[in-house]
A and B are shown apart, each in its own frame.
Chain A
Amino acid sequence: MSAANEQASRFDPGFAREFYALENGEYAKLCMQCGLCAVTCASREFMDLPPRKLFKLVQAGDKEAVLQSQTPWLCTSCMTCTVRCPRGIPIIDVMHGLKYFLIQQGSKAPVALMSKIFAENMLRRGRVFELALTNSFFLKAYGPVGAIPIALKMRSVGQPMLLKGRLPLKPPKKIKGLDQVHKIVKKATEVMKREGHQDGV
């Protein structure tokens, strides 16, 4: 019976249900394993699991494999898979939902860090200050000392950016309605938590 029990948890709908409860997570149910996303994705060579396989593991209830996958972090939101999916699964939105969940769980992935820094930066003035975005990311990712060699390595990119004036040194002005933005985000977060996920079908 032990093998059978393990298998029972393998196909246990418990984790699948949790996943479907994520924002846009419910769409993962609809994957029929055609694999169009896998052959479509521009980042597929970098992924450990194509979206198809990720969704299959969700359906099979394999929590560990899903949560450890690098796939969501490699999604560039180009939407090619989303427009091609014959089941109409908005794959980028599912990935957003998954990444949101992982970030809430304390993910240390670089994109998690970048996403948080971006959001903080954006919510500070209502607009993004790109130079600060870059700097805080490197400082937070590699520490004040570790960032230096990285910055040197990226010289061929950073230097012309600064020289050509593409990274203004002055931050944008804080918008007048920043308070409105905060209120909207706060309320929308409440709504999201209250109502759970979007409709699947």
Chain B
Amino acid sequence: MDKKIGFFICTGCGIGEALDVAALCKVATKEGKAPSCKQHPFLCGQEGLEFIKKDIAEGVNTVVIAGCSSRMNYDVFDFGPEVIVERINFREQVVWCHPANDEDTQMTAEDYIRMAMAKLKTLELPEPFVPEDVSKDVLVVGGGLTGLTAALEVAEAGYRAVLVEKESNLGGYTAAFYKQAPSRPPYTDLEPNEVPAKVQAVTDNPNIKVYTSAVVEKIEGGPGKFDVTIKTAGGSAGERVGAVILATGAKPFDPTPLENFGYGKYPDVITQAQMEELAAKGKITRPSDGKPVQRVAFIQCVGSRDKEHLPYCSAACCVESLKQAAYLKELNPEAQAYVFYKDLRATGKYEHFYKRLQDLGTVFVKGETSAIKIEQSGGQLVVQGEDVILREKVNLPVDLVVLANGMVPTTAGEENILNLAYRQGPELPILKYGFPDSHFICFPYETRRTGVYAAGSVRAPMHVPAAVEDATGAALKAIQVVESVSRGAAVHPRSGDLSFPEFFMQRCTQCKRCTEECPFGAINEDEKGNPLPEPTRCRRCGTCMGACPERIISFKNYSVPMIGNMAKAIEVPEEDEEKPRILVFACENDAIPALDMAGLQRMQYSNWVRIIPVRCLGSLNLVWIADAMSKGIDGVLLLGCKHGDDYQCHFVKGSELAGIRLSKVSETLDRLGLESERVQIQEVSIMDYDQIPGIIDRFAARLDELGPNPMKGF
């Protein structure tokens, strides 16, 4: 595309008062070769927009707006798919964080103009990749409460769902529930189990295709074009779907190995599931002799929150025990329930239910439940434990003991469920305790496999309403991905991005770094190790671009030369001018918002810095650092997201990868006589905006100690 540039400076929000705008215009037109430079006091206003649109009508197709952050007014400054819009952040990252009418502040603004103009040299409008035969159907794996709900939500939104259930009947674990804990105001009364009705609704829904006694044998392709092979009792079936929801739930934890509870040894020690079966008969009687029960002990955290077994809280058992204690009382008003608990986790609206159970006279005994011992003497079961509130031992004779055995995700087992034909393996990556990875901070259903969403108790331990909510959320994410793919657009966090990575294959050395490092498994490889991109799986983070040593991967609007040109456009003053320069590569997801927030709060920091936003620190190519250093820039600061188990990076391991790459560059720097300290990496979240000035100023102070980059002037 032949770019016709329109360059606009907004002088509102204090920009005009803090900067010499006429001098800036000179930089834009003289150095940046912008055909013209116009200024306006209020570009985002109606009049300002008309001002820009007039130029577009006259043929301008590339609009450069120097004003507020690109995170602001992005919808206002949208002039359609044919117009490139480049934003220069004079507000949050120049005048709001540096002193007004100051030589260094002016130089900062000038550099940002040079950088933007350099960026435009190689930037092109993206051409979306839209695959043929996009399917908008959604595969739901698992026919329990979550799967049923997800399939119904998909169908009710007007899409087709394909439901695959391993068992011969739909319904899953909760199908056998005698009653359901309250889900409606006043949240105190038991409700009939809603699962049978859901099974019926799914069976009756013409938009849902159900496979029972069936498993997924293989899933190939990517979002919009997953080809699924389903193994059924009679043979196999094929389905093309656009998205996948994993809803295979959890299995009850087997308490047999916990010998102190006597499960398996005493017939009147049972699990929660067995209690449901007993209650379904309408009268709760002892398995051993069929006699009615009067005193029932419920033991919480059997296996759960126990380092040796399930280190996590299984989330549903407290409420389930409350429910069982409630129906125990309903079936026999004379019965007495005792709940032995560590912490009663009946959160949210369940607080009312807990209160109701207290009102029914349930006795709650707080203590370390894993230390409880259940013994039988003379036909009498006795619960031995400790009440930590009364600070005394408890020896309680009871007729029945119900163990609140926690849940183990189905993904924790050996068997494969999804059988994805991905280079990275057939299943979702596991984060912890056998649960598949999910982006728990922003979008819990989001996994590292684009278009595949985990929901319900397979994703995290949860109770009934949470599973229903999860199923609904995952269904919406599935619909979002099929719609996005059909337009060639990315899903969150780069929602709507139409770019995708392009490979200059002639120069590929089959090093496999891109295929290995892609967090989403978007690049398979052939036998020779050539990358085989699956564009619809791509999230556009650019990790592959950062990984490639040959620099053959680029996007139309994001590439190694483009960022390199920006770094090279920075004017580096001579050593004797004592104006060091710091280049900051900042992640767009968290570091850039944090920098903007610091500006919004008018926090001041060194104006030696020049900031370049990157899609992800994972896209950081080492050549940029080499370019910056050889140009005489005194230091490079990388600001990325937190990584590790509690990562907040939407691209999962961007800063981790950048860190690894950096460790390699350090040696090189040291060899060149350049202190490796000149390049630093910091993890910041959006909440850390108040740390920004400290991080930058400390780095600047350290560089001052090190003295100027010896490469300056070469």
A residues neighboring B (CB under 8 Å): 1, 3-8, 10-11, 13, 16-17, 20, 26, 29-33, 53, 56-57, 59-60, 87, 200-201
B356 within 8 A of A: yes
What's the Cα separation between A59 and B363 when bound, in Å? 7
Residues of B within 8 A of A32 (CB): 344, 354-355, 358, 364
B206 within 8 A of A: no
- Report whether A13 and B396 are in contact in the complex, using a CB–CB cutoff of 8 Å: no
What's the Cα separation between A63 and B363 when bound, in Å? 16
5 shortest A-B CB distances, which residue pairs? Answer: A7-B395, A201-B359, A4-B395, A4-B397, A29-B358
B387 within 8 A of A: yes
- Report whether B396 and A60 are in contact in the complex, using a CB–CB cutoff of 8 Å: no
Known contacts A59-B364, A60-B387; is A30 also within 8 Å of B395 by CB?
no
Residues of A within 8 A of B364 (CB): 32, 59
Interface size class on chain B is 20 to 34
- Report whether A29 and B361 are in contact in the complex, using a CB–CB cutoff of 8 Å: yes
Known contacts A1-B378, A32-B344; is A7 also within 8 Å of B361 by CB?
no
B382 within 8 A of A: yes
Residues of B within 8 A of A200 (CB): 359
Distance (Å) between the CB of B176 and the closest chain A CB? 30
Chain A interface SS verdict (over half):
helix
What's the Cα separation between A57 and B387 when bound, in Å? 11
Distance (Å) between the CB of B566 and the closest chain A CB? 55
Known contacts A10-B394, A60-B390; is A33 also within 8 Å of B380 by CB?
no
The 0/1 profile, CB within 8 Å of A marked 1, for residues 462-501 of chain B is: 0000000000000000000000000000000000000000
- Known A11-B394, A60-B387; further 19 A-B contacts with Cβ < 8 A: A1-B378, A4-B380, A4-B382, A4-B395, A6-B395, A7-B394, A11-B365, A13-B336, A16-B361, A26-B359, A29-B358, A32-B344, A32-B354, A33-B366, A59-B363, A59-B364, A60-B363, A60-B390, A201-B356
Distance (Å) between the CB of A65 and the closest chain B CB? 10
A and B contact pairs by CB, cutoff 8 A, 9 listed: A1-B377, A8-B396, A8-B397, A11-B363, A11-B396, A13-B361, A33-B389, A56-B389, A60-B387
Please tell me which one of the listed residues B354, B358, B390 contacts residue A57 in the complex, with CB atoms under 8 A apart.
Answer: B390
Residues of A within 8 A of B266 (CB): none
- Report whether A30 and B355 are in contact in the complex, using a CB–CB cutoff of 8 Å: yes
The 0/1 profile, CB within 8 Å of A marked 1, for residues 349-369 of chain B is: 000001110110101111000
What's the Cα separation between A10 and B336 when bound, in Å? 14
What's the Cα separation between A1 and B390 when bound, in Å? 22
B338 within 8 A of A: yes
Residues of B within 8 A of A56 (CB): 389-390
Distance (Å) between the CB of A63 and the closest chain B CB? 14
Please tell me which one of the listed residues A7, A17, A30 contacts residue B396 in the complex, with CB atoms under 8 A apart.
Answer: A7
Residues of A within 8 A of B387 (CB): 60
Residues of A within 8 A of B380 (CB): 1, 4
Known contacts A7-B394, A7-B396; is A29 also within 8 Å of B363 by CB?
no
Residues of B within 8 A of A17 (CB): 361
Please tell me which one of the listed residues A5, A30, A53 contacts residue B358 in the complex, with CB atoms under 8 A apart.
Answer: A30
- Report whether A13 and B355 are in contact in the complex, using a CB–CB cutoff of 8 Å: no
Within 8 A of A (CB), among B163-181: none
Residues of A within 8 A of B366 (CB): 33
Closest A residue to B397 using CB positions: A4
Residues of A within 8 A of B395 (CB): 3-4, 6-7
Residues of B within 8 A of A29 (CB): 358-359, 361
Distance (Å) between the CB of B461 and the closest chain A CB? 23
Distance (Å) between the CB of A157 and the closest chain B CB? 41
What's the Cα separation between A26 and B356 when bound, in Å? 12
Closest B residue to A62 using CB positions: B390
What's the Cα separation between A29 and B354 when bound, in Å? 11
Residues of B within 8 A of A20 (CB): 361
Distance (Å) between the CB of A40 and the closest chain B CB? 18
Residues of B within 8 A of A6 (CB): 395
- Report whether B355 and A87 are in contact in the complex, using a CB–CB cutoff of 8 Å: yes
Residues of A within 8 A of B188 (CB): 201
